[in-house]
Amino acid sequence: MKYVDFVDSTYKPKDSDLICTFTFEPNDVTLKEAAGAIAAESSIGTWTALTTEKPYVLKLAAHVFRLEGNVAKIAYPKELFEEGNMPNILSSVAGNVFGLKALRSLRLLDIEFSGDLIKGFRGPKYGIEGIRKILKIKDRPLVGTIIKPKLGLNSEDHAKVAFDAWSGGCDIVKDDENLSSQKFNDFEDRLHETLDARDRAQSVTGEKKVYMINITAESEIMLDRADLVVDHGGEYVMVDILTCGWSALQTLRKQDYKLVIHAHRAGHAAFTKNPLHGIAMRPIVEVARAIGVDQLHVGTVVGKMSETKPEVLENIDACKTEMHGLKQVMPVASGGIHPRLVPALLETFGKDVVIQAGGGIHGHPDGTKTGALAMRHAVDAALKGISLEEYAKTHPELRGALDTWKA
């Protein structure tokens, strides 16, 4: 089969097919040849005719069933993939094709898993509803923070910052993506100290509090750390899903721990930032959701990250849209957030979001506890439809935040 033979506008995708949407730029070939190259190289084809090709192999060919300009929709028979093997799926549809000479650029925009393929994965254990049940928060956004500075604090000071954040009003405290078990902050010491701080904060505030400790490591170490979290009464773990890899994430989810999995997307911009090449965030969300994370960073629109509002809305939709019965993933907004940005965040996200601020809490001039309280005030004001400036007249903590971070 030649590349152009993989383009067939008469093909009607089967319910069991996996469907990918790509945008691409051809390189000295026609659009049809370039689109066919994507389908061929990600299924059964290659650059030349083969003496080893058998008639029965042809039924496994991918089909470009829609080609509109430089956007191609490709259907892949489910038989191309091993059941429950996400690395295998992605090695096919998001593997060698990115290096083809026939393509100047290639971007994977969407993956639509069939029900047959989804059966091989567990999906979220808790999702939005389960998270709200654990935290006993029914109808407001969750307020979280990241310990800052992200590296360098010892376990005792780390736990003190966590206590201040919780006692000021944060529901959630988490590690940053690059805190693991360095000599200055050993994993087990940090776990013990911070969970003790959580318990004290719950006693003081009467509110449920959770700690997301970063367990990212080699797979077996990651499982050992998850066991420790369970043994010490933790309810959450955080995983850097892209740097630890899909197979490690599958291994973790397969254990079916009674742990909410918080997915950090460290490294995603290497795939997502170039609008012409790589992998959009939406497919990353869909893959992570299929494997079984419960909450996931999706961008902010505002703040320090670069994604546009349409991109973030796409990511939120991928977290929540119907997906063969899988639970919805809780979107997380994080990156340069402070109280002044809360109304804009809720306009984009609605109430189902973790508003996760690091510097926007710990950078408050009156300290972490006051910064956390200012963030809660901002959420309360937005939910009541009161402007932040008006609410700040009777809430000095919020006033301090608004004076610190200007519009």
Catalytic residues: 148, 264
Q: What is the DSSP letter of 7?
A: B
Return d(Cα 269, Cα 271) in angstroms, integer: 5
Sheet holding 103-112, edge to edge: 63-68, 71-76, 18-26, 103-112, 278-279
Residues 6+ away with beta carbon under 8 Å from 47: none
Q: Which helix (H) or strand (E) holds 72?
A: strand 71-76
CA 159/CA 205 separation, integer angstroms? 16
> Number of helices (H) and strands (E), helices first, in the chain?
17, 13
Which residue type does 60 have? L
Please tell me the distance from the alpha carbon of residue 81 to that of residue 377, in angstroms, as a whole number: 50
Name the token pair of 28.
Answer: 């000295």
- For residue 249, give both structure tokens: 């994430």
Angle at 87 between CA 84 and CA 88, to 5 degrees: 75
Phi and psi at residue 124, to the nearest 5°: -65, 140
CB 10 within 8 A of CB 30: no
- CA gap 146, 187 in Å, rounded: 16
